[in-house]
Amino acid sequence: MQSDEARQWKDAIDVELETLRILLTLAAIWNYEIDQIDVTTAFLHGDIDVVVFMEQPEGYVQKDKEDFVCMLLKSLYGLKQAPRVWFRLLKKFLERELYTLMKCETCVAVKVIDGLLVFISIYGDDLILFARTKAMMRDMKQMLFKRFVMKDLDLIHYILGWEITRNRQARTIFIKPKKYAKKVLQHFAMDECNGCKVPSDPSLRLSKAM
């Protein structure tokens, strides 16, 4: 049986990496535009859907009411519910705009415009937009910017630790996790270690028992 915390995060918004690879592959084959948007303070947009109390924040303690606590009306970063609350808000908005969240991947919204598919891939506060033309991409961004405060990162270059390089003429996309690998090595203070092309002992003999 899942805990409440596990259920909260299960309902959060993390597109599967395999799904994102598929979308990038299709975009390369179909020669789609791929842009990235970062939602500013995404987790603060939604109304909290459970009763949560917190201590008065430092610097805002009311005089003669030091023992009082605050009941949250809006979601905050650090709450288990925050990702789910944001996802529900975004989902409701996209559905009003006639987008459909895929049954097999609820973090991908799809819509048919002028006979062509457009996609919005959701990963936390990062949105990746796929559209056939620049005009379609512009319309998608205008729709989102009217509702949320966002930062337009334009063409996708880096997402989830991946470096994205593209050749539009050859219709190819390359994904390189080099920066992410370096970040992991730095985190564990291993970035100054000697590199090795073969990660295991070349003299190791494998057996069926292993």
Give pLDDT, residue 190: 85
Q: Which of 1, 2, 11 is nearest to 81 (CA)?
A: 11
201 vs 85, higher pLDDT: 85
Mean confidence (pLDDT) of the chain: 86
206 contact partners, CB below 8 Å, separation of at least 6: none
184 vs 115, higher pLDDT: 115
Give pLDDT, residue 2: 46
Query: Which two structure tokens, joined as six digits, stand for 104?
Result: 């097999």
Domain ranges of the chain: 4-59+67-156
Per-residue exposure over 8-41, b if at least 16 CB sit within 10 Å of its own CB, e if not: beeebbebeeeebeebbeebbeeebbbbbbebee
Give pLDDT, residue 139: 96
pLDDT band at 1 (very low <50, low <70, confident <90, very high): very low
**At residue 129, does pLDDT exceed 70?**
yes
Residues of the chain with pLDDT > 90, as a percent, come to 43
Tens-digit pLDDT profile for residues 6-60: 454 544 566 788 899 999 999 999 999 999 999 998 888 888 878 888 888 888 8
Residue 158, CA distances (Å) to 17, 174, 202, 203 in order: 14, 11, 34, 38
Which helix (H) or strand (E) covers residue 163, if one does? strand 162-167
Give pLDDT, residue 81: 82
Give pLDDT, residue 6: 47
Count Cβ atoms within 10 A of the Cβ of residue 76 and give its class: 0-12 exposed, 13-18 middle, 19 or more buried: middle
